[in-house]
Amino acid sequence: MQKSAIWMGSAFGIALAISVAVLALQGAGNSGTRLALEIAARWSFLLFFLAYARGAIANLFSIEQLAGRGREFGLAFAAAHLVHVGLVIWLGITLGRVPLSGGLLLFFLVALFATYLLAGFSFGGVKTIGPTAWRWIRFLGMNYILIAFARDFVLPVLHPKPSQINLGHYLFYAPFMVLCFAAPLLTMLASRRSREQVPIA
């Protein structure tokens, strides 16, 4: 429990520090808040990426330090993402309306629900539902969250607005788009490698 608190507190603290720095430099208005929440989202996504693909990376590249750290990275992601959520709420306050609406709002709310459902289950809930149910819940939840991130990182690269066609825009989005595709690909490659290494009786 203490180790989890350290991971969560550190991730949250870094996200908060980054956001405060951006708001201090850019102001707490519309543009400054948008930039802060976008950068906070990228920090939380990096933690999510490691929660999603850390086992595959450990398997494929023999990085043993990542093996068995899924829970820590997952809880760190959930904690860091609270800052992003807070900034979205603050943006809504500054705009005087909800930044998202309709189906898009529901889409991201489901991803948010999945994030904290998985985090909640990690505190002893797995024993209640059993390992098989947990594997399915984790698989569905993690992939839904990945799709939600991909929606934010892939579309601006593939379909940018005319004003966004510049090097800075692509550098801000393209690396994270690559990670969105890399996460499931690495997992599939690691799974295939594991199957190939199983000795035939």
pLDDT digits (tens, 9 = 90+) for 64-120: 888 788 899 999 999 999 999 999 999 988 887 777 778 999 999 999 999 999 999
- pLDDT, position 9: 96
pLDDT digits (tens, 9 = 90+) for 165-187: 999 999 999 999 999 999 999 99
pLDDT of 183 reads 97
Contacts of 109 by beta carbon, 8 Å cutoff, 6+ apart: none
Average pLDDT over residues 26-45: 94
CA–CA dist 191, 194 (Å, integer): 5
Question: What's this model's pTM, rounded to 2 decimal places?
Answer: 0.93
- Is residue 151's pLDDT more than 90? yes
Q: Assess whether pLDDT exceeds 90 at residue 153.
A: yes
Region label for 105, one of left (φ > 0), alpha (ψ between -120 and 50) or beta (otherwise): alpha
Are the CB atoms for 78 and 97 separated by under 8 Å? no
Mean per-residue pLDDT, 149-168: 94
Dihedral-angle region of residue 63 (phi above 0 means left; psi in -120 to 50 means alpha; beta otherwise): beta
- Per-residue model confidence (pLDDT) at position 201: 44
Of 48-52, 143-147, 161-165, the range with the lowest mean pLDDT is 161-165
